[in-house]
Amino acid sequence: SAYVLPGSPCAAGPGPLIRLIPGNKYQLTLANKGAIENNIHAHGLHVGGTGDADDVTRSVAPSNCISYTWDIAPDHPSGTYWYHAHIHGRTKEQVAQGAFGLLIVEEDSVQYAWLSKDVLLWQQNEKILQILGKPQTHTTRRELEETNRGNGVINDQFHFISGEWYRLRVSIVDPDGHPRELSFGQACTIQLVARDGVWRSEVPALPAVAYQLTGSSRADFAIRCNGTGSSVPVVFDGDNVATINVVAGVASSASPYNKGKTWAPVRPAYLASMLNDAVPASNTYSIKIDKHDINGLGWDKDTPHRVIAFDQVHEWSLFGSHHHPFHLHVYHMQVVSPGGCGNGTYEFGEFYDTVASMDMCRVRFRTADFGERVVFHCHILEHEDGGAMGWIDVQGEGMRKNLEDPRDFKCSHHTQHSV
């Protein structure tokens, strides 16, 4: 189970890098060449959860095709996302075998035209690291010998010009899902700029050398390394997943600072701050996640946990998310617990699509643009497969709807050459 481009040989993940431009509509066709059903989930994208958009209850049978339409709004946040298989009961198996890849929504040049040319240069000066977590339960000799991998290899190699600012996009793909530490050597300045596809409220953050990330987290960093000839380890959960080799060269003017100062990003209306919004009691809900259920309910694709109102702010209290990282489809969540959650990992006022906190964490989200089926689940994939998954039915007037036929179909000669 791995995604490849048409005409490419079957290989272990990650799959092909997909880049999307705000304001464009895309159709992706998945041709199932395997022996079991499959599908694809656009993790973190703000697209609908019904029709042929991002409904994870859809699947494609062996030898058939299925199409997805991703309508990327002109103001969709630019950022780092990912895609992966999401067949209930087989998600862990398929993701661990390579059914995943990276999605990037590009910066809109008009939206960020007010930034200095040095920031715009830095935004494009990117490096990519997608980390596949090693198996935590071992069933074969190969798994016993396995290690965390960066970009599909053991200890991937990067070359950074000394003194040059880069944008490092990091995506964690760990079926085990638990928060683990990503750390960098001392020779580099590392500053967080975005989480889960959304720019921080202030870019960049103060420097740090270690970060806690779940098995589905993404983090973008501004990174600058000094010391020609030095080698800087990038370590995830104790394993070197990459090495940064610092080389001689002429550093450009690229910088994460806008004319020497931090800057605030442009955000769409659905990501406007909700910190001061009044939330009625009817829009509040508590989530208790266990290994096989959420709020005592297992997965039932035909019955939602509840029906909630479209185009309103909702506040949820998350319990047990440290051992069961909580992921919400369609909408990003703003952390509203005073002081943040997870010992500062989830910052007060910032946005995430997955939260893992030892303490109870209060989050808010706005049911904007899309509604109907919105899935949530534990992102330990074994738990998700075992029933720790549910959905809410978002209802109201004015939402965008995707009415295309969601069924799979026999592949034509043309679609045989699609992704």
pLDDT digits (tens, 9 = 90+) for 84-119: 999 999 999 999 989 999 999 999 888 889 999 999
Residue 144 structure tokens: 């016993």
- For the chain, the helix, strand and coil percentages under 3-state DSSP, each to the nearest 5: 10, 40, 55
- 202-223 mean pLDDT: 97
Tell whether the model's pLDDT for residue 415 goes beyond 80.
no
R_g (Cα) of the chain, nearest Å:
21
Q: What is the mean pLDDT of the chain?
A: 92
For residues 245 and 229, give the distance between their C-alpha atoms in angstroms, rounded to a whole number.
7
Q: Are 193 and 221 in contact (CB under 8 A)?
A: yes
* Average pLDDT of the residues in 314-328: 97
Tell me if 219 sits within 8 A of 182, measured CB to CB.
yes
Q: What pLDDT is attached to residue 137?
A: 53
pLDDT at 19 over 90: yes
- At 148 the three-state DSSP class reads coil
Q: Is 233 exposed, middle or buried (0-12, 13-18, 19+ CB in 10 A)?
A: middle
For the segment 202-212, the average pLDDT, to the nearest whole number, is 96
The pLDDT assigned to 419 comes to 40
Strand duo 180-184 + 210-213: pairing: antiparallel
Collapsing DSSP states into helix, strand and coil, what is residue 117?
A: helix
Tokens of 85: 């298989």
- Pairing mode, strands 361-366 and 333-335: antiparallel
**How many Å from the N-terminal Cα to the C-terminal Cα in the chain?**
13
Q: Of 131-140, 317-326, 341-350, 406-415, which gets the smallest average pLDDT?
A: 131-140
- Dig out the tokens for 84 from the structure: 């992966």
Binned at pLDDT 50, 70 and 90, residue 135 comes out as low
Residue 198 pLDDT greater than 90, yes or no:
yes
pLDDT band at 11 (very low <50, low <70, confident <90, very high): confident
Which residues, including other chains, have CB under 8 Å from residue 113's CB and lie 6 or more apart?
Answer: none
- C-beta of residue 46 within 8 angstroms of C-beta of residue 73: yes
The helix/strand/coil state of 413 is coil
Selection from 384, 148, 365 nearest residue 272 by Cα: 365
pLDDT exceeds cutoff 60 at 44: yes
**Mean pLDDT confidence for 353-379:** 97
> Measured between alpha carbons, how far is 266 from 264 in angstroms, rounded to an integer?
7
In three-state secondary structure terms, 52 is coil
Model confidence over 236-294: pLDDT tens digits?
A: 999 999 999 999 999 999 999 999 999 999 899 999 999 999 999 999 999 999 999 99
